[in-house]
């Protein structure tokens, strides 16, 4: 038997089906849908039933046998207000155990605390406001061959991308997932503290640029001075660069065409992720592209380059396969990095450190308080790489503590995002860091040896800025 019911649900949910203990099926359809959408949703759910969905049948069988049913899910289940249905399945005995990642706990707390979540994923994807830190992964396969062909090493190429974006995130002025969410929890405007963060951005970016240029000059002058000097020949083969073939380095007609197409694709990618509407710019349309659209963009651009340069079909396909194989290891590394973060959060290590920090900061003077706050956020940022998650957990605690020492909420937010951004330059649980190093085939210990000097410099300069901010 099939029973169909219309109920009130979030617009993101069209319909779903739940089997009962008698083996009958209950189809629930969103009552706010149009008649045509309701009919389409009903047919969709009936097809699930006709195909004898294995998971549903298996759950029913498990319940009848008294076996355990473990439901593992991600944060979107909570974000889309589906926890009520999970609870219903638990009460009915269809689910005996549940497991979720750290984001589930964060968003569950947010829903209980203020009736909403800090991240509206559909909106963020639509307007492209997720930022340009994660998106930098697309730059590594593109720029690595260019830098190596120009006489630099893979460390230089990675530095230009990772340190440029990383320091920019560290000193971000309007980052929606660090500055924005933290400001919301603190009850202040996004513009509060903007002047200090802008000054930090100018100084620290200049420091990072100088740091990278000094290393690049040293490597260009003496390739043996490179931290990855032993990979020089390997990288030439890996990125298909022939330094002995002078003709191959000549910018001929086909290569000019390919370069023009690449430049156009590159500019379109940058334009597509800029949220013009959020910036108050109305004469430029906001495309709101994200990973799916950008992947399609580069796929199409690659085909266009192949056709324009008259590449053979086999050559073009081999190029795609070779690129995909390079990124397979990256995917595994990212998965492992995320797994470490889940374990740390699930073990309540984060909560313990936050409690210790709260006790340690009590009674400190203004300068000491802001510096200790910054230092506290360093290990917390390691445990919680997500800036929005860290802001959600810590800002409601840290801001009231700062009021007792006359530290403004804006300065605490600056300390939070600065620490989060600094740790993100080297943390092994950060997918962007490990993914970028994997693409460039740079061992993590060598990257750490290289970047640690800059990290120390940025740390000291940031502490100086925070101390100055506490005095003003």
**Mean pLDDT of successive 10-residue stretches along the chain, which has 472 residues:** 83 75 79 86 82 65 81 74 80 83 68 64 44 61 80 89 86 69 73 84 93 92 88 74 50 73 79 66 74 77 83 80 64 54 59 60 74 86 70 73 78 89 79 77 88 93 92 82
Structural domain contains residue 293: no
In a domain, 268, yes or no: no
Number of separate domains in the chain: 3
Does 265 map to a domain? no
Same domain, 142 and 82: no
- Any domain includes 264: no
Residue 109 and residue 140 share a domain: no
Which of 90, 125, 160 is the last residue in one of the domains? 125
Asked if residue 400 and residue 359 are part of one domain, the reply reads yes
Is residue 139 located within the same domain as residue 188? yes
Report yes or no: 211 and 217 within 8 Å, Cβ to Cβ: no
Domain range for 104 is: 72-125
Q: Domain for residue 245, yes or no?
A: no
- Domain check: are 332 and 426 in the same one? yes
Q: Does one domain contain both 195 and 121?
A: no
Query: Per the domain annotation, does 250 fall within a domain?
Result: no
How far apart are the C-alpha atoms of 57 and 23, rounded to whole Å?
A: 9
Q: 291: Cβ–Cβ under 8 A, 6 or more apart, which residues?
A: 135
Return d(Cα 208, Cα 232) in angstroms, integer.
Answer: 24
Please name which of 135, 142, 148, 141 lies closest in space to residue 326, comparing C-alpha atoms: 141
| Beta pairing, strands 70-73 & 97-100 | parallel
Paired sense of beta strands 97-100 and 2-7, if any: unpaired
My answer on whether 43 and 157 are in the same domain is no
The reply to whether 76 and 184 lie within a common domain is: no
Residue 354 and residue 403 in one domain: yes
Shared domain check, 352 and 217: yes
Q: Which of 67, 89, 105 lies at the terminal end of a domain, its last residue?
A: 67
**Domain final position from 49, 67, 85:** 67
Sign of CA dihedral 207, 374, 420, 465: negative
Mark whether 470 and 327 lie in a shared domain: yes
pLDDT of residue 438: 80
pTM greater than 0.75 (yes/no): no
* Triad 290, 434, 173: Cα angle to 5°: 55
Question: Are residue 331 and residue 206 in the same domain, yes or no?
Answer: yes
Q: What are the structure tokens assigned to 432, written together?
A: 């962007």
Domain presence at residue 451 = yes
Q: What's the Cα-to-Cα distance from 456 to each of 36, 72, 87, 419, rounded to whole Å?
A: 61, 40, 48, 12
Of 60, 71, 74, nearest to 102 (Cα)?
74
pLDDT at 204: 93
Q: Which pLDDT belongs to residue 344?
A: 54
Q: Is residue 255 part of a domain?
A: no
């Amino acid at each position: 038997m099939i029973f169909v019911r219309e109920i009130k649900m979030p617009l993101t949910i069209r319909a779903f089906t739940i089997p009962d203990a008698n083996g009958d099926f209950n189809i629930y359809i969103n009552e706010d849908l149009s008649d045509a959408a309701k009919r389409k949703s009903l047919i969709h759910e009936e097809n699930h039933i006709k195909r004898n969905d294995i998971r549903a049948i298996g759950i029913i069988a498990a319940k009848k046998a008294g076996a355990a049913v473990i439901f593992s899910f991600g944060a979107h289940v909570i974000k889309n207000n589906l926890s009520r249905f999970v609870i219903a399945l638990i009460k009915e005995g269809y689910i005996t155990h549940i497991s979720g990642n750290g984001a589930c706990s964060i968003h569950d707390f947010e829903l209980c605390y203020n009736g909403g979540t800090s991240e509206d994923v559909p909106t963020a994807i639509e307007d492209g406001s997720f930022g340009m830190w994660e998106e930098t992964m697309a730059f590594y396969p593109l720029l690595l061959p260019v830098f190596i062909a120009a006489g630099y090493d893979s460390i230089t190429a990675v530095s230009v991308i990772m340190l440029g974006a990383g320091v920019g995130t560290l000193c971000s002025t309007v980052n929606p997932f660090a500055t924005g969410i933290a400001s919301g929890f603190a009850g202040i405007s996004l513009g509060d503290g903007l002047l200090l963060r802008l000054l930090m951005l100018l100084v620290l970016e200049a420091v990072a640029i100088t740091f990278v240029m000094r290393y690049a000059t040293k490597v260009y002058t003496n390739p043996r001075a490179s931290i990855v000097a032993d990979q020089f020949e390997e990288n030439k083969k890996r990125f298909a660069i022939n330094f002995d073939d002078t003709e191959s380095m000549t910018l001929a007609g086909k290569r000019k065409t390919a370069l023009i197409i690449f430049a156009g694709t590159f500019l379109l990618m940058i334009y597509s992720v800029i949220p013009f509407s959020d910036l108050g710019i109305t004469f430029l349309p906001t495309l709101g592209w994200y990973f799916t659209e950008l992947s399609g963009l580069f796929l199409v651009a690659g085909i266009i380059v192949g056709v324009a340069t008259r590449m053979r079909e086999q050559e073009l396909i081999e190029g795609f396969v070779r690129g995909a194989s390079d990124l397979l290891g990256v995917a595994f590394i990212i998965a492992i990095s995320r797994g470490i973060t889940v374990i740390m959060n699930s073990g309540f290590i984060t909560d313990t450190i936050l409690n210790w920090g709260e006790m340690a900061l009590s009674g400190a003077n203004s300068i000491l308080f802001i510096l200790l706050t910054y230092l506290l956020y360093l290990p917390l940022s390691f445990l919680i790489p997500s800036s929005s998650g860290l802001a959600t957990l810590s800002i409601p605690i840290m801001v009231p503590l700062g009021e007792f020492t006359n530290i403004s909420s804006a300065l605490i937010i600056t300390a939070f995002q600065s620490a989060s951004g600094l740790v993100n330059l080297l943390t092994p649980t950060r997918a962007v860091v490990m993914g970028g190093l994997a693409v460039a085939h740079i061992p993590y210990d060598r990257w750490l040896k290289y970047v640690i000097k800059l990290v120390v410099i940025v740390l000291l300069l940031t502490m100086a800025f925070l101390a100055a901010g506490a005095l003003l």
